[in-house]
Amino acid sequence: MNFEVILCILNRGFADTAMDAARAVGAKGGTILHGRGTAAPDAEKLFGITIQPEKEVVMILVADKIKDAVLKALYDTVGTGTDAQGIAFSLPVAQTVGLTVSSTKTAKKEESPAPKAEQ
């Protein structure tokens, strides 16, 4: 299974809203980091938004098949058109360790062939 990490940077206080939106479309959980924005004052004029220095960064590891749904949910719920003024993007994940992926399908056990009799 291939994974993507979604990073969502938004104004402080909106991380739970972002996680609720992501969970609603299949994400299992995420990590919330606190940060501080460092945008230049000209960025406010360029993008037409007010930049608050206190930020939250939500990291969500998802299967690549639900990445687009999660990004859309984040855009709709905490995107630049909301008070959260969030941006989100994804990056491919080359490898994972320590991750258990559960499946709703029961895997069939392969039976080993009977040993051949020696002649």
* pLDDT tens digits, one per residue of 43-86: 666 666 666 678 999 999 999 999 999 999 999 999 999 999 99
Spatial separation of the C-alpha atoms in residues 25 and 73, rounded to whole Å: 7
What's residue 81's pLDDT?
A: 94
As a whole-number percent, the residues of the chain with pLDDT over 90 amount to 62
* Rounded Cα–Cα distance for residues 67 and 69 (Å): 6
**Is the pLDDT assigned to residue 109 strictly greater than 60?**
no
Q: Residues 100-114: what's their mean pLDDT?
A: 49
Distances (CA, A) of 77 to 1, 12, 15, 58: 27, 15, 11, 14
pLDDT given at position 47:
65
3-class SS of residue 95: coil
Say which range, 3-7, 50-54, 57-61, 104-108, has the weakest mean pLDDT. 104-108
Q: Is the pLDDT of residue 91 over 80?
A: yes
pTM for the structure as a whole:
0.74
Instruction: Provide the 3-class DSSP secondary structure of residue 21.
Output: helix
Mean residue pLDDT across the chain: 84
The answer to whether 21 touches 77, Cβ cutoff 8 Å, is yes
- pLDDT reported for residue 16: 97
